[in-house]
Amino acid sequence: MKVKVLSRNPADYIRECKSDIHKIPRNIDPSLHPFEAAREYTRALNAAKLERVFAKPFVGSLDGHTDGVNCMAKFQKSLSLLLSGSCNGEVKLWNLSRKECIRSYSAHSGFVRGLAVVPTGEIFISVGDDKLIKHWRWKQDDDAKKSTHLVHTIVGKTMFQGIDHHWRDSVYATCGDQVDIWNEDRSEPVRSFQWGVDTVHSVKFNPVETNLLASTASDRSVVLYDTRGATPLRKLLMKMRSNTVAWNPLEAFNFTVANEDSNLYTHIQEHLNNEEEFPKDGQFAEDIQAIKNGDDTKGIFYFFELHDFDKNKKLDGLELFVALTDHHDKINTEQDGRELLEEEVESLIDNLLDEHDLNSDGYIDFTELMNTAPDSLWNKLGKV
């Protein structure tokens, strides 16, 4: 009979001193720990969150508004001053270094929609739902009677949704039913811009090219303007509505829009140059016959945008099929012609792709349509 004695090394489980932690046996076999990666991910995420909490990113709060804050504006010549407008029509001037309210104004009866500061820093302008534009002087003068009073009031025809001041000149812009350019010394706009019938929610002047400004509207568009011209420059259509726009302070033609899909979209000059945008007057062309007698470039663009259902700037076979069948159905009804067979439509689609698909990717983009002969597209569709 054999007797085997169990032998263990005390160094494997006994602490060397009282300050050491107890050694716990652990099997590191991955098959016994299927959720190890998930646990490590959770621990790393919690550690990152705690690191940001302990970093103390919160600097302070400005308490005093009795309703929600709807807009803010900063001073160009003073980093410690801030304006805020609330939903009850109150405007407050804050000192950020001391985190206290300097002055409070009962500015509007309703929402304060926008605030703008004159470059000199002595006057600020507010707009609200009461259709009023108010000029305020906040700076303390030697004469106490001239301090913190209402300088000028302009009664508008419609409600204003936003305002922004020119970076150097005595000019500011308001938005609402349209974009209006105002002079500080006049009670009527010196110029008005309108593209469509939707409400314009925000407007911003370019800090570098100061004659340029951008606006966002409820029709999901971003429109660029030049105050020296009589018409808008360009209109960009987003998938969802953009709430506001901000220009790049260093690169003159780059701007970023805050979209309702929780994303920020930065548009750069190269992308804008590659896109062909034309004014849309509400009389959108319904078929090729309605636009083939007009300008070829504008007609092709209308046809392209009308049938680009997924808005990817390309026409695939299905979109071409819908374009051809819709066009033929209308012409067929008017002329009592025969019904177009599916095989004939597929043959026409193949011919269009062979002729216009220059890079052979299975799609036709707007550049490929413009690089090929425009008449060939109208002729093929007219013979359907």
In which domain, by residue range, is 308 found? 69-324
Residue 198 belongs to a domain:
yes
pLDDT score, position 296: 53
Q: Name, in order, each residue with C-beta under 8 angstroms of 306's C-beta and a sequence gap of 6 or more.
A: 284, 285, 286, 323
pLDDT score, position 146: 43
Residue 43 belongs to a domain:
no
CATH number, domain with residue 123: 2.130.10.10
Residue 252 belongs to a domain:
yes
Beta-sheet pairing, 162-165 with 171-175: antiparallel
Concatenating the DSSP letter of every residue in 298-334 gives: HHHHHHHHHH-TT-SSEE-HHHHHHHHHHHHHHHHHH
How many domains does the chain fold into? 1
**8 Å CB contact between 348 and 271:** no
State the Cα–Cα distance between residues 57 and 368, nearest whole angstrom: 51
Structure confidence by residue, pLDDT tens digits, 83-100 = 999 999 999 999 999 999
| Of the candidates 165, 185, 156, the residue with the CA atom closest to the CA atom of residue 116 | 165
- The residue ranges of the chain whose pLDDT is under 70 are 140-148, 269-303, 305-307, 309-312, 322-342, 345, 369-384
Residue 27 belongs to a domain:
no
Q: Residue 181 forms beta bridges with which residues?
A: 173, 191
Residue 260 belongs to a domain:
yes
Structure confidence by residue, pLDDT tens digits, 144-190 = 444 458 999 999 988 999 999 999 999 999 999 999 999 998 999 99
Question: Over the chain, what is the mean pLDDT?
Answer: 79
**8 Å CB contact between 9 and 23:** no
Residue 111 belongs to a domain:
yes
What is the amino acid identity at position 14?
I
* Half-sphere CA count of 123, side-chain side, radius 13 A: 18
Residue 297 belongs to a domain:
yes
